[in-house]
Amino acid sequence: MTTSSVKGFRDILPEEAAGRRAVLATASEMLVAYSYREVELPLLEHGELFARTIGESTDIVEKEMYAFEDRDGSLLALRPEGTASLVRAYIEAGMSRSLPVARLYYQGPMFRRERPQKGRFRQFTQIGAELIGRNDAGADAESISLAADICSAAGVEGFRIEINSLGDQQCRPAYREALVAFGREHVAELCDDCRSRIERNPLRLLDCKVEGCRTLMGAAPMMGDQLCDPCRAHHDSVLEILDASGIEVVVRPSMVRGLDYYCRTAFELIAEGLGAQDAIGGGGRYDGLVAKLGGPDLAGVGFALG
139-179: per-residue pLDDT in tens?
Answer: 999 999 999 999 999 888 889 999 999 999 899 888 888 88
**Residue 273: predicted pLDDT:** 63
Three-state SS for the chain is CCCCCCCCCCCCCHHHHHHHHHHHHHHHHHHHHCCCEECCCCCEEEHHHHHHHCCCCCHHHHHHCCEEECCCCCEEEECCCCHHHHHHHHHHCCHHHHCCCEEEEEEEEEECCCCCECCECCEEEEEEEEEECCCCHHHHHHHHHHHHHHHHHCCCCCCEEEEEECCCCCCHHHHHHHHHHHHHHCHHHCCHHHHHHHHHCHHHHHHCCCHHHHHHHCCCCCHHHCCCHHHHHHHHHHHHHHHHCCCCCEECCCCCCCCCCCEEEEEEEECCCCCCCCEEEEEEECCCHHHHCCCCCCCEEEEEEC
Please tell me which residue, 9 or 86, carries the higher pLDDT value. Answer: 86
Q: What is the pLDDT of residues 31-68, one digit of tens each?
A: 999 999 999 999 999 998 988 887 765 666 767 888 89
**Residue 39: predicted pLDDT:** 96
**Residue 157: predicted pLDDT:** 83
Q: What is the pLDDT of residues 243-277, one digit of tens each?
A: 999 999 999 988 887 677 889 999 999 987 655 56
Name the least confident of 178-192, 207-221, 266-280.
Answer: 266-280
Tell me the average pLDDT of the chain.
89
**Residue 197: predicted pLDDT:** 83
**Residue 232: predicted pLDDT:** 95
